[in-house]
Amino acid sequence: MRIIDISLDITPGMAVWPGQDGVTLERRQKIEEGGNANVTYFGSSAHTGTHVDAPFHFLPDGRTIDQLPLDVLAGPVQVVQIPSNVLVINEEVIDDLKLEPVVERVLFKTTNSAFWKRTDEPFHQHFVAVDESGAKALVARGIKLVGIDYLSISPFKKSRPTHNLLLGADVVVLEGLNLSDVHAGKYMLYCLPLKLQGADGAPARAILIEG
């Protein structure tokens, strides 16, 4: 059995969505300075690094992160390698992937994963994402969870159509994955977002189990 951590390191200076606050991670009590213990303060957007979107992120009456079913966040998953010449994952790309007939969870490994080689990489606007037709195709196939290796499942500045379709169909959206060291194939996924009451999303630790 091999455990593969597909979560990003959360660190100050990491890429965040434009307009969102950066990460604050600092020790505010230090043993070497006389503190009783080391105590770290952490501050960030709920959509920092590897994170899960709840329907409430785009749907006013949607479920919040603490209301998501855990059985969707854990179970068999197929990691799919998207060809390097694909810039948008649309319906045609989905149809060509030959997804397993029974797959309910899919993670897209794209050229985006190369962005995570350095923790101080700037935000990239031109990342591979799923467009509206691709979202419709995923919903039609009965997908319950979809993940991608950048900070949004939707193309930059076109966030609503894809998110509304997926979240409106109760598809769990997992963003900010690091799939650099993952080969295409079948795994077990375990992804647990922080239980932030009433929130529209939360950072998550996500792992794959191979074998």
The whole-angstrom distance between residue 23's C-alpha and the CA centroid of its chain comes to 17
206 close to 178: Cβ distance less than 8 angstroms:
no
pLDDT in tens, 153-178: 999 999 999 999 999 999 999 999 99
Residues of the chain with pLDDT under 50: none
Parse the chain into domains and list their residue ranges: 2-7+45-210
Helix, strand or coil for residue 197? coil
Could you give the CA distance from residue 166 to residue 136 in angstroms, rounded to a whole number? 8
**Rounded to 10 degrees, what is the CA torsion of 197, 192, 161, 90?**
180
Buried b (16+ CB within 10 A) or exposed e, 57-69: bbeeebebbeebe
Reply yes or no on whether 124 is catalytic.
no
Catalytic residue among 51, 57, 124, 163: 57
For the entire predicted model, the pTM comes to: 0.95
For 83-152, where are the alpha helices, taking DSSP H only? 91-96, 132-140
Could you say which architecture CATH assigns to the domain 2-7+45-210?
3-Layer(bba) Sandwich (3.50)
Six-digit token string for 149: 């290796």
Could you give the CA distance from residue 21 to residue 9 in angstroms, rounded to a whole number? 17
Six-digit token string for 72: 């969707």
204 close to 191: Cβ distance less than 8 angstroms:
yes
Q: Give the other-Cβ count within 10 Å of 51's Cβ.
A: 28
Of 69, 31, 28, 35, give the one whose Cα is nearest residue 52. Answer: 69
Could you give the CA distance from residue 120 to residue 143 in angstroms, rounded to a whole number? 33
